Amino acid sequence: MASSDDSSAPLLPKIYALRKQKVVLDSDLAKLFGVETKVFNQAIRRNKDRFPDDFAFAVTREEFVNLRSQFVTSRAPSDVSLRSHTVTLKEHGGTRYLPWVFTEHGAIMAAMVLRSDYATKMSVYVVRSFVKMRDELTANLGVLRRLSEIDKKLIEHDVVLREVLERLQPLLNPSPEKPKRKIGFHGGNR
């Protein structure tokens, strides 16, 4: 079994947040599983019943534009047309389809649909990438909670310090008093 720091391991696919779910693009999964995106999507379409909406879904045009802002791609689509339930984007250089995205469970199911040893190994790899992401989010959440607690303490301390300063202010700046008369024989005491 390869370790998670194995230099020969493929790069983890980028995980995006879409519809309040963590997802991976069809093209990234196809590359990871060692097949063309077209072949990958054909296998998915042939097994539609294994991919409910919480496993995989096609992105909308608006979601696609939002995703594009997260990664570098070619020019923005100039025309959108509908063909059955598939939306195609006509761009310079050919027609492109809106991508499908897969949740963690959808990625595992895709590996089962592809039925190759390599796809099975890569599905384990994908699961590990989702677990790694979840662990990092949990760690960040813990740090944010701790910072919030520290912030509350600082605010409480700030209020107490202001009270102490207000009470000490009269002692630090005493009111000016009239000069007292000197006792005894002086030139100014007559």
Residue 190 falls inside a structural domain: no
Whether the pLDDT of residue 142 is over 70: the answer is yes
Residue 143: CA atoms inside 13 Å, Cβ hemisphere, count? 6
Residue pLDDT, tens place only, 19-64: 888 888 898 888 888 888 898 989 999 999 999 988 999 888 888 8
How many domains does the structure of the chain reveal?
A: 1
Q: Is the residue at 94 inside a domain?
A: yes
Report the alpha-carbon distance of residue 134 to residue 167 in Å, rounded.
50
Any domain includes 45: yes
In angstroms, rounded to a whole number, what is the distance separating the alpha carbons of residues 42 and 34?
A: 14
Residue 125 in domain:
yes
What type of residue is 9?
Answer: A
Residue 180 covered by a domain: no
pLDDT digits (tens, 9 = 90+) for 169-181: 887 776 777 777 7
DSSP-derived 3-state class of residue 67: helix
83 vs 38: which has the higher pLDDT: 38
pLDDT of residue 1: 41
Structural domain span for residue 57: 16-140
> Is residue 93 included in any domain, yes or no?
yes
